[in-house]
Amino acid sequence: MELSYVIAVVRADALDAVERKLISIGVRGLTVIKVKGLGKQANFFSRDWLTEEVKLEIVTHKSKVQAIADAIMEVARTGDPETES
């Protein structure tokens, strides 16, 4: 069995929806880590500009990687073309 490691960083407010979607497609386990980062959407109203997000880590069979990536993008995507390049 060939395993793959899927890593995704999503907005904290999208976490519940992402978890529900992943469970619905058969993901049985994942790790969630609170992270802070600086990207296209900087928090200019904060002292350090970093935004709080969550990092998902999933170990899965190689054949399920695309379905997992599609599921995460389906529910976590912002729809803003500026942030999705």
Interhelix angle for 65-76 vs 15-24, to 10°?
A: 140
Q: What is the rounded distance in angstroms from the CA atom of residue 79 to the CA atom of residue 73?
A: 10
Q: What is the rounded distance in angstroms from the CA atom of residue 4 to the CA atom of residue 80?
A: 29
CATH 3.40.50.1970 at 3-76, yes or no: no
Q: What is the rounded distance in angstroms from the CA atom of residue 12 to the CA atom of residue 37?
A: 12
Name the pTM for this structure: 0.81
Let me know if 38 is exposed, middle or buried by CB neighbors in 10 A (0-12, 13-18, 19+). exposed
Assess whether pLDDT exceeds 90 at residue 1: no
In tens, the pLDDT along 17-61 reads 999 999 999 999 999 999 988 777 666 676 777 788 999 999 999
